Every structure is written in C-alpha cells, then in structure tokens.
Structure 1
Amino acid sequence: IYLIACLIDYFSNVSTYVENNTAVKFGDNILSFRAIFNDVRNSIDRLHHQGKLKELVTADVEKYVHKDDQLPVLLDRIRSHGAKTFLLTNSEYWYTDRLMTYLIGSEGGTAKKGKRDWKSYFDFILVDAQKPLFFAEGTTLRLVDPATGHMKLGTYSGPLKQNQVYSGGSCEVFSKLIGSTGKDVLYVGDHIFGDIIKSKKQKAWRTFLVIPELNHELKVFHDKRAIFNTLEELDNSISELLRNFDMTSSQGPDVSKIRHKIQDCTHELDMNFGLLGSLFRTGSRQTHFASQVTRFADIYGGTVVNLVYYPFFYFFRAVSQLMPHESTVDPEDPMDEVKAPWGGTQEAINRRRSTHSSIVTDLLHNTIHTYPDLPRHVTHDHDIDSAPGSDDDLDDVISHRSRTYTPPKSKN
C-alpha cells in the first residue's frame, strides 16, 4: 500500500503529468491508478512466487524475523493442558524449516544448548497449504521428506503423525483426520482474508488475528486520548444542534465550523499514526478493516504470545455495545406502552398454544414437510459453530424433527 501511495503521489506532483480523477496523463500516454495498482500487485506476486523475497529473508533472518523466547513456552503449555498444536503455512518446507529453526528450534535438527527440533512442538505440520484454497476444495495431501524437502509420490491417506511433515490437503480432510469440528480449533493467523475470514466462514473455527500494528495503535490512543475526546465532543455538538429540529424546520444549522474542527483533529491523529493513518479509525469512524476484525476475529492481539499470561480456562469477551436505536433510549425516562405489531406478549403466548391448524388437515396426505404444530424443540441456534448448511450442524437440527410422517387414520 505504501509503495502504491508513493507512486501515485509522485505522478500526481510531477509537473509533466496531468492528473484527473482516475489517471495521470503525459502527452498521449495515460496511466490509470488501476494500472499502477495492478503493476505493483503483479510485481509483488512475482517476487513472492520466484522465491527472491524468501531468499533475502533467510540470508539475514535476524534482521527480518522477530524472535520471542516465550513462544516455545506457550506451545508447551498448550500441549501440557491436553490440547494439540498444528502448523499450517503456505510456505515451502525449506523456508518453513529455516524460520522455525531460528524461532524455536536448533540448527541441524539436533538438540544443542538445551534446544530441540522445532517439529517436536507441533502435533501436525502442513506446508504448501495454498490458503485460502485450503479452506475450499484444497489440493492433494502429500508426505514430505524432511531430509530433502521433496514431496513423495502419491496421495497420503493414512493418519497424521507427529514429527511428520505434510504438503497441501484441505480443511475438510484435515479436520476429519484430527477429529475436530468448529469451536474445537483456535486458528491463529495474520491475514484477515486468507486466514481469518475464510476459516471462519468455511469451518467456523475460532480465530485469533495477529495485528503487529496494534501496539502502536494503543500507544497513540493512550498518548492522544485528548484528541479522541475532542472528536467525540464535536460529534455530540452536531447532534445537540440538530436535536430541536423537526419536520416543520426549513433550514438546518450551520455546522461548517464544527466540521473544519473535526477535519483538523482527524489530520492531527493521522499524523500521529503514520503516513497512512490509523489501521482501525478514520476520524471518529471505523475503517473497513476494523469492521472485518470485529465481525470475523473472535480475539485479536499484537502477538499470539499474549496468551501465555492467561489461564487456559479464561473466557475472552468484548465489552457490550449498544445498537444505534438502543443508544437513543434514556433509561430514566418512562416510555409509552407500545403494542407489538402482532399483539402483546400474552396474546402471542395464547396464539402459540392454540396453533393447531385445521386448515391444512386435508392437505397433509399430499403435502411434504407440512407440520401442523409448532416445533417443540430448538431448531436453530446462533451459537452453532459450523457454517450454515454444513454437515456439522445438519444432524443436530434434523434430530429434533420428525423423520417420518404418519397420516391420520381415516374416520371411515
């Protein structure tokens, strides 16, 4: 993003280029902003696929990879409490082995200076996963030879074993092999789309999103809290100005000065966050990324090592937030009795008790999936962890319904 912003800024400020809303023009040559984005995106993809970027990282791994001594402690604690750990990565085995050896292992795969082989920290290891394809149809599951890093011929169909390395596969196959569904898995990833959104939608895994920028966001929020408070006060002042207007008002108040103050506060905040502003906020509003984090990430943090400071029975829960219509209610002011569209509570109860329809009695012999009585069990639960329509929750719903229909006996 920073590279794209630099290129657009350069072409927009060079005197020889003429800018419009969608492109910059130099003579008869037009360079659209979309073309700039596509060129940068293709360059990054090519650099990634050719392995040049990984070669640079492994040549000086200490420079590019942050090492935390608490990581192996956390992995051991997880396993000591009866849970299993797995490593799922899109990287090839040679790159994974180099980085994991630096982070938690020992050189050469043998114990030195109290360290051990990094593979012993995990129960299952999958490389070349090709996420987000892994969470859909996936690829062929193969066995990897750790000595050479090459994949063995054929499709692997046996049970997953510890200290073995596997390549490819799919979430469906992996879940069946380890015997897990839905909330059994806490998946930790740093990519909002490829890791968090796909794993949540496809298999309803519990998700932990790693956001390295979070520490800086918290620092700015702490140090510049006065600016946030000023933004909130300015927003409230606009609401107060509009409070006493109704349908008879023909002209609204002048809020231009307040809007200019909001813009000044927003600019000051952006300068404290960095060149691209906050990852979570634009002024007093949330960014699209922030809304995705709220919706798809069960928990998030600057690093997964934060979990080492919590007991494993700990329950993380976000602060309850009011919806817009709820925030307008003053609990100290009485409200008039409002009748529900379908009557009051007691009327609804009486109506449900008498819901034995005689209208459909004659149609039951010829109508499929017709139930004259209301369901007597819960047929849907919003806390079901599996994705809608998946096989994981289908049996739970069907088990509460009558599986066969016996028509009533004829009066004759």
Structure 2
Amino acid sequence: MSVFVNRILNMKKIKAIGFDMDYTLVRYKTENFERLTYGEVQKKLVEVLNYPSEILDLKFEFNLVQQGLVIDKIRGNLLHVSRFGKVKKANHGLRTLSFTEQNDTYSNSVIDLSDKNFQSLDTAFSVSNGVLYAQLVELKEKGVELPRYDLLADHIKEAIDICHSDGSLKTTVANNLSDYIIQDERLVDLLEMYKECGKKLIIITNSEFYYCKNLLEYAIDPFLKNHKSWKDLFEITITLSSKPRFFHFRNNYLRIDPDTATMTNHEGPITPGVYQGGYAGKLQKDLGLKGSEILYLGDHIYGDVLALKKTFGWRTALVVEPLEDEIKAIQKSKPVQRTINNYMKDKEALERQLDQLEMDKYLKKDFNKDEVGKIYSRIDKINNNISNELETYRTCFNPHWGELMRAGQEESRFADQIEKYACVYVAKVSDLLEHSPRTYYRPIKRILPHELI
C-alpha cells in the first residue's frame, strides 16, 4: 500500500507525531468487532430500551453497509451521497428506491450534515450501526411495532454508547485479543524508526487507560526491538481525551501512574508520562511547537481530523481501513472499465453524427431518416453492452453500494471530506514505513477539464 497525498507534507518539519489508538495505532478485525457490537446493541435495545425481543433474531450482514453512508432519520433511508450533497443511491430498509422514488424525494435536495435529521456513518465503528438501522426499518415496514425512523437512529446510538460505557464491548475484546485485534510488526518498526529520528511520539485516545494498556501491550510490546514497553516509545499518552472536545475546550489534565493506574490532579507543564483528559492547546504550548510542526493520525474525519485542522492547524493523516479492499477492487475492475470507456467513445462518435443529422433537419437540408434510424439502433446496442459491462463492474465492489470513494461518476461525500481535511491518507499506519521519516510528500497535479484539451 502507498501513501496518498492531498496536500504538501514535509516530514522534515514535523517534530511531533500524534496517534489515535483504536483503528489507527491498533488495528481491529473489523468484521469480528462490528459483529460483536451488533449483538451487544441488540441486547441493549431489548433489555434497556424495551424493544420487542424479535429483533434478537436479526443476523449481522457486514456488507449491507459501507463506511461513508448517511442516514436520513426522517425518511428511514440510507443514502450514498456525492461530494455535491446529491443523493446517488438510496435504500429504505433493505429495499433500493427506484429511480422515480429517489428522484421525487431527493432531486431538489442537497444533503447537509449540519442538519440534525442526517447522521453520517464515517468510521469503521459505524458499520454495525448502519446495518441494524436498515434492518429495523425493514422490520417496521413489515408491521413490527417499532418507534419512528428518527427515534430508531437515536436509540441505536444510545445503545452503542451504553455498550461503550458499561464495558461490555471492551471487556470482551480485552479477554479475547486475538479474535479482535491485528498485530502488525511493521507498525512497531515504523514507530521505532520515527523515535530514532527524533520525532516525539504521542497518543491521544478516547479510550480509558486500562483498555489502552491492554491493547498496546498486545499490539506493540511483542515486536519492540529498542524499547522495553510502549510506555518508553511514546513520550506522552493522553487517555479519555473526549475528542473532538479535546481540540476545543480547556479541560484539566489528570496524571496517571502507569503501574498502579492511580490518578492525581496535574498542575504545570505537560511532561513525559500518561494522562487523562486535557486540552490540545496546552499540549501544543508545552511541547513548544507550532501547529504546522505536529502531525496527527486518526480514523475519524470529524473527531480526529476536521476539528484540529480548524482549531490548531496541525497537519493531518487519515487512516481509511476499507481502502485496502477498495484498491484491490479497482485493480480487478480495470479491464472492464477499459471496455466501458471504449464503448463510450464509440457512443459519443455516433451521438455527434446524430446531432449533425438532426441539425440538417432543422436547417431544412437533406435529412436521411433511414440513417438516423440506423444510428439509434447502433446506440441502443452499445447501451446494452455498457449495461452488461456495468453489471460486471459492480461485482468488483460492495454488492449493495458500489465504490467507497465514488457516487456514480462523481466523488463521494466521504472522498470529498478526506480531500478537504486530510493532508495524506493511508489504509493503515504501517504503510508509512515505505517512506523515509524525512519524506517530502507532494500531491499529484489535479487535471481540470479544460486542461485535457
């Protein structure tokens, strides 16, 4: 895998590198973890929120949802949205809306995520959320007594929050690490290389210290060559940071004794150690660095990347876990895409001929009606061929939603957010090992339509 560059990033100027933990430093076996989350949320909906027990019969379907979709809470729909906020595909429950239904509902709409009636599914953690929402909407349409569509969305989020707060998810993961966590020796090689090159390494995570400790001891400690523990590798570790609040609000720091997990109020500068809470502004000030000298890597556009980009100007890298499968799918689809492109060239040439013949008619020149009919027939044949090729093309990607980074011919809203707020993006942090800690990352010049002439 490579590093994909949206904006110039000169690693020579980066003096501190911060990392989120979950899905960034520590990689999850996503399908396993989302299945676990799905099951625990089902239980909470029944036991805490009094949902009918028949929802426990629902089965988790990993590919039913992909990262980057949007929930329309009022209409009960899942949406695949373009960078311009236009809906390119919509599902109601498990049913895809027809072109007419979709057009009638959304043709004059621009999806604005600042509207509380829309909920974005922007992280790998949100797959189970979307799957369960779609299935509950489907059950509701079949006559099961369930709340309004918007309340379904709110209740699922509430149940997920309960699962995180009561430890039901994290306890299971901590007790079965090999089932849910991926060990990546290359990641540890990268971190030690950065450390040796003088970069200050920092963790800023929303997870509690005990969970952070368990996962890092499993994912990092076995592969360390020049350090005894992850605590020696990272200069500062900040747990329960409450991102994105960490980038906006002046919360106090608590210092944690990593051996006993006891906490004390912290006064004065932030020095090497383990902390809870706090505020990014104080961290940056005590590090004595400019925002442009800090790179932060995370997996959440809004929680990790957008907030700090707007407040402190830190450089940003986004970890997009599904990117690895997406790139494989793109490679697999290339022969089909070439065939489609060739058909489109033939079709455009015929359309130009047809336009000229139609103009002859309007200009009262000789008009060959038979020739027009032949051209329409050839275009119809090409359209059928393209339709067949598109069916093959779609089999390369998510069977329900297609490409992650595209919505039709346009970039998806998810791709647009990555481009706007991430300096670089990768499928996993260890992909950076292919490049020197002093690499000057430069974006490829984007070609504008008029530049193709």
Selected match of 2:302 from 185, 193, 199: 193
Q: Secondary structure at the match of 1:273?
A: coil
The change in CA–CA distance for 1:311 and 1:36 in structure 2 (over 3 A counts) is same
Q: Secondary structure at the match of 1:300?
A: strand
**Paired residues of 1:136 and 1:202 also in contact (CA < 8 A):** yes
Distance 1:194 1:260 in 2: 45
* Deviation of 1:144 (Å): 1.2
**Paired residues of 1:105 and 1:117 also in contact (CA < 8 A):** yes
- Greater fraction strand: 2
Distance 1:138 1:259 in 2: 60
**AA paired with 2:214?**
R
TM-score for both structures, normalised by structure 2:
0.60
Distance 2:269 2:426 in 1: 33
1:53 aligns with 2:163: no
The change in CA–CA distance for 1:322 and 1:31 in structure 2 (over 3 A counts) is same
* Deviation of 1:184 (Å): 0.5
Selected match of 2:395 from 271, 280, 283: 271
Farther-moved stretch of structure 1 (31-40 vs 187-196): 31-40
Matches of residues 223-372 of structure 1 in structure 2 within 5 Å?
223-233=332-342, 265-275=389-399, 276-327=401-452, 330=453
Higher relative contact order (CA 8 A, sep 6+): 2
1:88 aligns with 2:204: yes
Distance 2:181 2:312 in 1: 30
- Greater fraction helix: 2
Distance 1:106 1:282 in 2: 42
The change in CA–CA distance for 1:180 and 1:242 in structure 2 (over 3 A counts) is farther
The change in CA–CA distance for 1:308 and 1:257 in structure 2 (over 3 A counts) is same
- Partner of residue 75, structure 2: none
Distance 2:388 2:207 in 1: 44
The change in CA–CA distance for 1:204 and 1:237 in structure 2 (over 3 A counts) is farther
1:150 aligns with 2:262: yes
Selected match of 1:129 from 237, 241, 245: 241
Distance 1:265 1:10 in 2: 34
Distance 2:416 2:146 in 1: 35
Aligned residues: 310
**Paired residues of 1:25 and 1:31 also in contact (CA < 8 A):** no
**AA paired with 2:317?**
F
- Partner of residue 222, structure 1: 331
* Deviation of 1:222 (Å): 0.9
Q: Secondary structure at the match of 1:86?
A: strand
* Deviation of 1:92 (Å): 0.6
* Deviation of 1:161 (Å): 2.6
- After superposition, what is the alpha-carbon deviation per residue over 1:57-89, rounded to whole angstroms, capped at 9, x for unaligned? 101111111111122221121121122111111
Distance 1:96 1:240 in 2: 60
Distance 2:408 2:318 in 1: 23
The change in CA–CA distance for 1:138 and 1:257 in structure 2 (over 3 A counts) is farther
- After superposition, what is the alpha-carbon deviation per residue over 1:327-358, rounded to whole angstroms, capped at 9, x for unaligned? 4xx2xxxxxxxxxxxxxxxxxxxxxxxxxxxx
Same amino acid, percent of matched pairs: 27
Instruction: Let me know the Cα RMSD of the aligned residues.
Output: 3.3
Larger radius of gyration: 1
The change in CA–CA distance for 1:321 and 1:133 in structure 2 (over 3 A counts) is same
* Deviation of 1:236 (Å): 5.6
**AA paired with 1:273?**
F
**Paired residues of 2:254 and 2:277 also in contact (CA < 8 A):** yes
Q: Secondary structure at the match of 1:82?
A: coil
Q: Secondary structure at the match of 1:85?
A: strand
The change in CA–CA distance for 1:123 and 1:238 in structure 2 (over 3 A counts) is farther
**Paired residues of 2:221 and 2:230 also in contact (CA < 8 A):** yes
